[in-house]
Amino acid sequence: MRAVIQRVARASVSANGHTLATIGPGLVVLLGVWQMDTPEDATHLASKIAHLRIFDDAEGKLNRSLVDVRGDMLVVSQFTLYADCRKGRRPSFVEAARPELAKPLYEIFASEVRRIGVPVQTGEFQALMELELLNQGPVTLVLDTQQML
């Protein structure tokens, strides 16, 4: 799995002109699922992100996690994180998981974050969405379960 994580003051996601989800301070996670990912990858990544110390403490140091600050998480599926742009001008998405594998793993990821105690909102799987966010910091990280082994 590959995740782009952004610390935000607020964020929302819409589809077809309707707001699907809105969060206050917390994290936006753009989540891509690789064709070889497993449920264990989803639970491991969920825990890693929920406990990443990327929020300021009283001294302004990045020492607090999403769990610590009681922030929200907005998870949006994004298969384009597995785009291969090495050849030609049109990205290839052959490394991205097919929807029948990706959706359950996306749902496992969100469920695990909820189990940890973080309020989670999600986009709509396979929908054309509009994401609005106010990046805070800015703090943006990329995690990949294949690089975390």
- Report the DSSP pairing between strands 62-64 and 55-56: antiparallel
- What letters, b where the CB count within 10 A reaches 16 and e where it falls short, cover 112-130? bbeebebebbbbbeeeebe
Distance CA 38, CA 33 (A): 9
Of 6, 43, 78, 145, the catalytic one is 78
Of 19, 35, 80, 126, the catalytic one is 80
121 is catalytic: no
Helix, strand, coil % in the chain, rounded to nearest 5? 30, 40, 30
125 is catalytic: no
43 is catalytic: no
Of 43, 79, 121, 145, the catalytic one is 79
Active site residues: 78-80
